[in-house]
Structure 1
Amino acid sequence: MNDESTTGGPQGHPAVSVVGPDEGETIVLGTTRMRVLEDGSHTGHRLGIAESVLAPHTPGPPQHRHAQQDEGFYIVSGTVRFTVGDKEYDATTGTLVMVPPGVPHTFANLTDQPAVMLSTFTPDLYVQYFRDLQNVIAGGRPLTPQAGIEVMSRYATEPATDLT
């Protein structure tokens, strides 16, 4: 069902993209399995969307700030702990967390159950970040915090070092 075409729709409009339940690009980063539903190629790079399954006790990335991207997280199932600056929020099923540019944040699954969240990235810039992290692992390098920070820097993102 996945339509990779971006042309050929009615009256020259872009074709509709449909990604079925077993389709989409899979990115595995440690205990997180991500399925890219929209990498920006069908939205003029205005929007990226991914579904992430966080295994129980999955730590998140270091707290960080995006200079250009809005990031949204909709909790499909489970509970995800968001840390925003010095505040913590336990987001449960049905909760939406929107993080505008410049706001320090991270997330983790601290529970004994998997958590599933749908993430949006506007613009789509951050989808490639996850691909690059997977390439670090595939290249035989460990996914250390320093490796993550190095990759983040390519995508207008920096660690929130003033909070550590």
Structure 2
Amino acid sequence: MTDQPTTVSVVGPGDGETIVLGTTRLRVLEDGSNTGHRLGIAESVLAPHTSGPPQHRHAQHDEGFYVISGTVRFTVGDTDHDATAGTLVMVPPGAPHTFANVTDEPAVMLSTFTPDLYVQYFRDLADMIAGGRTLTPQDNIQVMRRYATEPATSGWAP
């Protein structure tokens, strides 16, 4: 046995921390506090015609996306993948990627972050918005850099 906590975390349908970033609503289901910071999980609801973040690469964490409903377009480098419900997309460190909902219907996906490093990124963006700031791509990139994430193309540099 280890000295790890043995408490089971249960997050019900109305529970979790809600973060609204423009037309995307995230519900943090696990921020890493119950997993020794090995895993973070968030449910994301992307409104129709929601653009995603600038294409980027993570240096220190894997990111997984499981599409629950709708269609999410993942762009990996120059290649688009339209992921429908039931599709899992796993992004290892270093892989350039972004996502968007280009359809007329909402899309819902479950995202995992291993380790949980990136959950705080969403909180930081929400704090900036709550402070009255309108986020620009450059703001987004500055916050990404706090969490070992860089733009995937030189065109995104601030």
Match 1:110 to one of 93, 102, 114 = 102
User: Secondary structure at 2:135's aligned position in 1?
Assistant: coil
CA distances 1:52-81 after superposition (whole Å, capped 9, x unpaired): 000000000000000001000000000000
Does 2:26 match 1:30?
A: no
* Distance in 2 between residues matched to 1:62 and 1:114, nearest whole Å: 20
Question: Structure 1 residue runs of 4+, over 4 Å off?
Answer: none
Task: Decide which of 131, 138, 145 is 1:139's aligned counterpart.
Answer: 131
* Percent identity of paired positions between Structure 1 and Structure 2: 80
Instruction: Tell me what 1:88 maps to.
Output: 80
Q: Deviations over 1:6-32 (max 9, x none)?
A: xxxxxx852000000000000000000
The equivalent of 1:18 in structure 2 is 10
How does the TM-score come out when normalised to structure 1?
0.91
Q: How far apart, in 2, do the equivalents of 1:122 and 1:163 lie?
A: 28
Q: Which residue of 1 aligns with 2:113?
A: 121
Give, in whole Å, the separation in 1 of the partners of 2:79 and 2:117: 26
Distance 1:36 1:146, change over 3 A: same
- Structure 2 residue runs without a partner (length 5+): none
Change (3 A) 1:69 1:105: same
Q: Distance in 2 between matches of 1:160 and 1:121?
A: 19
Q: Partner letter of residue 46 of structure 2?
A: L
Change in 2 beyond 3 A, CA 1:13/1:154: closer
Aligned to 1:150: 142
Unaligned stretches of 5+ in structure 1? 1-11
Conserved? CA contact 1:85–1:163, under 8 Å: no
**Whole-angstrom CA distance in 1 between matches of 2:5 and 2:53:** 39
Deviation of residue 163 (structure 1)? 7.0
CA–CA distance in structure 1, aligned partners of residues 6 and 141 of structure 2: 36
* CA positional deviation for 1:161: 1.8
Q: Please give the alpha-carbon distance, in whole angstroms, between the structure 2 residues aligned to 1:88 and 1:161.
A: 16
Cα distance change, pair 162–51 in 1 and its aligned pair in 2 (3 A): same
Q: Number of aligned pairs?
A: 154
- TM-score, normalised with respect to structure 2: 0.94
Q: Which residue of 2 aligns with 1:9?
A: none
CA drift at 1:143: 1.0
